[in-house]
Chain A
């Protein structure tokens, strides 16, 4: 996201003008924009005009609108952000108080005005505008008969495609069926790859699977690329990396990110940090159960006793429309930071964030064991 103008007071009112550039930025915008803020952007609206002859004519007019946000809608699959609210800017076509839905589009600037720019929002803004390279990794996670294609960005992991076919077993006469079914499966994966992966943006493609499916697929890929003269693949041959995973299901993605060959590529990025933090949490849980806890109640209790060393929290908890809950979590994050602990805010669009969200969305590694947490109801 490109920051054009910034005019705000920390913990006070202010406005920023930004230009979103990629899919990630939609997600950041979603995190930034809350109910009650106002967004100003150029948009298209269908306006009814009275013609001289008396008939009504619908015209699409481009106009600049500022709306007071009532609801924000983020479409994960299409990476589209829609903001609905009431108009507050004087305009010849749209009355004040009329509802309008703004669609935030890439490469179109918008102005966001907030009453309170708290630390959360400022963090998100800073991350969004950080020009450092994003993780841009494409991962094909497959097993025989099932494949997922992921695009891992800086803060979101988008599932671009899911391919499932039934591949028969192979004994005796059915071997031919197996080979041809496998080939068809690989062909589908190849098509998905060509469609969704833009090699200019993606730095590298990881193919992961249990067993030897990945080798088979890589060989198939290269062979077909030669045969069909697919320039994009031939040029980027060196960007293909193989990794081992234990299954083709989505939750195995974190294992892939953990693999040393992949880790080196993404080690500075948020995704890698999240994976590491979550792994630490699980390790702690298996080694010494009393030093790890999850669930809002347990974490609160632990925090009261100043026991929290590392706090893991997903950003979906902040997206609560209930201001008080949001405030509560923000205060929790700040106080953990003040007391010297580390805070990892997981993007709920990443695999590790999803996993954390399954575990209620908040977890903590403690400084010292608290065995009596067991007795407290979750």
Chain B
């Protein structure tokens, strides 16, 4: 029953939040919000809106059964009596102030008043913007459950606040109160909505990625025959007849003329199990930064390999010419564990089994060395041009003779659904900004990493720090009312200057702003074939969709590969395959979070001279020296 579930959830999360309390320093100026918990709950509510000290979790004694309850629970766990609280909590009542000195600890909260707690707006702000009645009815209509939820959260807020005045949405200070996720944020299990899967298509240049994508879209009916005809005609006119399917993805004149993909193209289609967002990436060496920006949204990847003689070898070339290696490395560094290797252009090698096995052998050892588990790699031979083994089993005799495995679409369906963090506050890294002249409004596109938004939600646009309201949410050219973690959407914003929204920024919850920094501490792994990194080396720093020029300021320590322990302090130089902790200074500010708190905002890549030299995670965001 939903009631029970939520109950448990709240209990657990607040409890664990308290456990974490004991470990952390209460000065939250330095640390961000603690989103450590795996069960997904947020925020140790720490009050420091005014930088006040947080009190340790306290207990109150139930007057009936004398059980020592945690402060967070408003009703006694044993006997169920609601704690005597004179604060008639009213979501919209913001006038009461609370006195949270330690003296009130054991006492009944009768003497204290409720403050306008920052997290209360979490529940109320959505109401205040659009649907006051709806929300109120929602929270009150479901009778005691919501009442208790709210009271619990308010009570826990009380614990963490000292004297507070109305501090709604102070932009800079993140709220320390626990984040209360709404019921609408969780996915409706009942309705049988397909879950989302973001699939990145990567591989060496000319391996057939865009053609494959175009083919899939056509076969699944997303492109009409007429459109396909148009593409074919146009491609033939340009003398690029074989690129007809790729034109479905490469839409700009430049891309079509040169026959390559330059930026990540996004397309949507449905399979039996998932709603798939296809991210067709460029394979060309020069466009790897674009590929990074696109593939950062991926949950799973399809590595397209060209089976024809010579091309495969070129792709595997270790000296940086081959993109197969670099892409596989990058994909792994994005945290993608599941990968389908599509061996394309099988028609060029006559659907030879030997060739397929040869490629499989070569690549599997490589993928294993990169950290892909054998069980999460699927091998599918296909031919995009001939439409073999894509959505149905192969028809060509030579092929079906020896291959009885899954076709590509089935392989995609066999992927495990990724875990989504619905219950954390909103984080949406902005991939793209579309300015529509008609209404002077801005739309930010990207994939929601955590949390959820809906029509009317207030969001904070970082790095500028301005508030905006969600006007509409669009997914695959159709409006939807709610977007949850994992969805790739275009969010149309109101109330903000279009110059302030830019790719590389982040949309986040007003009370839980993402940090912006220019100096970062990273734990990196230097890749093979990388030039040595010295203090003062200038690199390009990529993180989610942002990129900046950066300089290595300090090399703090060298880490041992196997144990991860510090083996040497302050080495002079970092060579290939070494792992170290370094500090970088960026030319411009970017939105980051430590990797432990938010994975999507904590992964970083360092590039220099056209190749990726190091991959890493953000371990610490030092406070700026003011």
Which residues on A are within 8 Å of B, measured CB to CB?
Answer: 166, 168-175, 177-179, 210-212, 216, 246-247, 249-252, 255, 282, 285-286, 289, 293-295, 355, 357-360, 374, 377-378
Q: Is B538 an interface residue (CB 8 A)?
A: yes
Task: Report the bound CA distance from A255 to B611 in whole Å.
Answer: 13
CB distance from A181 to the nearest CB of B (A): 9
Partner of A246, one of B251, B572, B610: B610
Q: Is B191 an interface residue (CB 8 A)?
A: no
Which residues from 271 to 328 on chain B have a C-beta closer than 8 Å to any C-beta of chain A? 284, 286-287, 289
Cross-chain contact A170 with B534 (CB below 8 angstroms):
no
Q: Which residue on B lies nearest to A244, using beta carbons?
A: B286
Contacts of A359 in B (CB 8 A): 534-537
Do A358 and B263 form a contact, CB below 8 Å, given A212-B254, A374-B572?
A: no
What mask results when residues 556 to 573 of chain B are scored 1 for a CB within 8 Å of chain A, else 0?
Answer: 000000000000001111
CB distance from B135 to the nearest CB of A (A): 34
List 20 other contacts, CB 8 Å, given A250-B549, A286-B575: A166-B433, A169-B263, A170-B252, A174-B432, A175-B251, A175-B252, A210-B610, A211-B284, A212-B262, A246-B286, A247-B289, A247-B607, A247-B610, A289-B573, A289-B575, A293-B572, A359-B536, A360-B535, A378-B570, A378-B572
Task: Report the bound CA distance from A1 to B264 in whole Å.
Answer: 52
Task: Report the bound CA distance from A289 to B574 in whole Å.
Answer: 10
Cross-chain contact B286 with A168 (CB below 8 angstroms):
no
Task: Report the bound CA distance from A228 to B20 in whole Å.
Answer: 67
Do A170 and B251 form a contact, CB below 8 Å, given A211-B286, A286-B575, A294-B534?
A: yes
CB distance from B248 to the nearest CB of A (A): 11
Contacts of B445 in A (CB 8 A): 169
Q: Which residue on A lies nearest to B253, using beta carbons?
A: A179
What mask results when residues 565 to 589 of chain B are scored 1 for a CB within 8 Å of chain A, else 0?
Answer: 0000011110100000000000000
Do A282 and B503 form a contact, CB below 8 Å, given A168-B433, A175-B251, A177-B435?
A: no
Partner of B532, one of A174, A282, A293: A282
Do A168 and B432 form a contact, CB below 8 Å, given A251-B549, A355-B538, A360-B536?
A: yes
Cross-chain contact B434 with A358 (CB below 8 angstroms):
no
Task: Report the bound CA distance from A303 to B616 in whole Å.
Answer: 37
CB distance from A162 to the nearest CB of B (A): 11
Contacts of A169 in B (CB 8 A): 263-264, 431-432, 445, 503
Partner of A289, one of B266, B435, B532: B532
Contacts of A178 in B (CB 8 A): 252
CB distance from A375 to the nearest CB of B (A): 10
Contacts of B534 in A (CB 8 A): 285, 294, 359
Cross-chain contact B254 with A216 (CB below 8 angstroms):
yes
Task: Report the bound CA distance from A206 to B531 in whole Å.
Answer: 26
CB distance from A185 to the nearest CB of B (A): 14
Q: Is B265 an interface residue (CB 8 A)?
A: yes
CB distance from B475 to the nearest CB of A (A): 13
Contacts of B262 in A (CB 8 A): 211-212
Contacts of A289 in B (CB 8 A): 532, 573, 575
Do A172 and B477 form a contact, CB below 8 Å, given A210-B610, A212-B258, A374-B572?
A: yes
Contacts of B503 in A (CB 8 A): 166, 168-169
Cross-chain contact A171 with B573 (CB below 8 angstroms):
no
Q: Is B478 an interface residue (CB 8 A)?
A: no
CB distance from B327 to the nearest CB of A (A): 17
Do A171 and B435 form a contact, CB below 8 Å, given A210-B286, A359-B534?
A: no
Q: Is B609 an interface residue (CB 8 A)?
A: yes
Cross-chain contact B538 with A251 (CB below 8 angstroms):
yes
Contacts of B610 in A (CB 8 A): 210, 246-247
Q: Is B603 an interface residue (CB 8 A)?
A: no
Cross-chain contact B435 with A168 (CB below 8 angstroms):
yes
Cross-chain contact B531 with A282 (CB below 8 angstroms):
yes
Q: Which residue on A lies nearest to B551, using beta carbons?
A: A358
A-B contact pairs, 17 of them (CB 8 A): A168-B432, A168-B434, A169-B263, A169-B445, A170-B252, A172-B477, A216-B254, A250-B549, A252-B609, A285-B532, A285-B534, A285-B573, A286-B532, A289-B573, A294-B572, A359-B535, A378-B570
Contacts of B537 in A (CB 8 A): 358-359
Contacts of B521 in A (CB 8 A): none
Q: Is B197 an interface residue (CB 8 A)?
A: no
Which residues from 409 to 450 on chain B have a C-beta closer than 8 Å to any C-beta of chain A? 431-435, 445
CB distance from A95 to the nearest CB of B (A): 45
Q: Is B502 an interface residue (CB 8 A)?
A: yes
Contacts of B434 in A (CB 8 A): 168, 173-174, 177
Q: Which residue on B lies nearest to A357, using beta carbons?
A: B536
Task: Report the bound CA distance from A39 to B132 in whole Å.
Answer: 78
Contacts of B607 in A (CB 8 A): 247
Q: Is B10 an interface residue (CB 8 A)?
A: no
Do A211 and B549 form a contact, CB below 8 Å, given A168-B434, A178-B252, A355-B538?
A: no
Cross-chain contact A246 with B431 (CB below 8 angstroms):
no
Q: Is B511 an interface residue (CB 8 A)?
A: no
Task: Report the bound CA distance from A210 to B48 in whole Å.
Answer: 47
Contacts of A210 in B (CB 8 A): 286-287, 610
Task: Report the bound CA distance from A360 to B538 in whole Å.
Answer: 14
Q: Is B540 an interface residue (CB 8 A)?
A: yes
CB distance from A55 to the nearest CB of B (A): 50
Tell me which of B251, B537, B572, B575 has the highest count of chain A C-beta atoms within 10 A of its own C-beta.
Answer: B572
Contacts of A360 in B (CB 8 A): 535-536
Q: Which residue on B lies nearest to A181, using beta carbons?
A: B435
